[in-house]
Amino acid sequence: MTTWLIILAVSIVTFLLRASFLVFADPHRFPHRFRQALTFVPPAVLAAIVAPGLLLRDGVLDVSASNERFVAGLVAIVATIFARNATAAIAAGMSTLWLLQWLGV
């Protein structure tokens, strides 16, 4: 019973956060500065999501060439810039990671 209450409550909360501005606000009334700030949401949030996946190992910062995920992530960034598509990023990143792990660098 408690589990179902939590499931329902969490679902309502996640929906309300998603609906907040999109359903209940009028963007034509957003102040100019606010609209400007919103254009930085995609690069800022996505970079914040990516960072720990590349540089944290068990919660510890590892900025070294022996951090395979960091190296593979850099390769994926370069691949995305040149190929401009997600498949290239994933293929380049995963194959680099597997290669480095196989080599045991």
Partner 1 sequence: MAIPTPREEFIAGARAITPVLLGTIPFGFVAGVASVASGLTPVEGMALSILAFSGIAQLIVVQLIAANSPILVAIAAAAVVSLRHLMYSAAISPYLAHLSPRWRALLAFLMTDQSMAMTPMRFNEPGDKSNRHWHVLGTSVTLYLVWQATVLIGIVLGAQIPASWSLDFAVVLTFIALLVPTVRTRADLAAAIVAFGVALAAAGLPYRLSLVAASIAGIAAGMAIELARRAPREHCAGRR
Which of 25, 50, 57, 51 has its CA nearest to residue 38?
A: 25
Does 98 participate in binding partner 1 (rule CB under 8 A)?
A: yes
- Asked whether 56 and 70 are in contact (CB, 8 A), the reply is no
Q: Euclidean distance between the first and final Cα of the chain, in Å?
A: 51
Q: Does 89 engage in binding with partner 1 (CB under 8 A)?
A: yes
CA angle 41, 13, 18 (to 5 degrees): 30
- Which of 28, 105, 102 lies closest to 71, judged by CA? 105
Residue 65 CB, nearest distance to partner 1 (Å)?
17
* Choice from 66, 77, 99, 104 touching partner 1 (CB under 8 A): 77
Minimum distance from residue 66 beta carbon to partner 1 (Å): 15
Which residues form the interface with partner 1 (CB under 8 A)?
A: 2-11, 13-15, 17-23, 25-28, 30, 32-56, 59, 61, 69, 72-73, 76-77, 80-81, 84-87, 89-90, 93-94, 97-98, 101
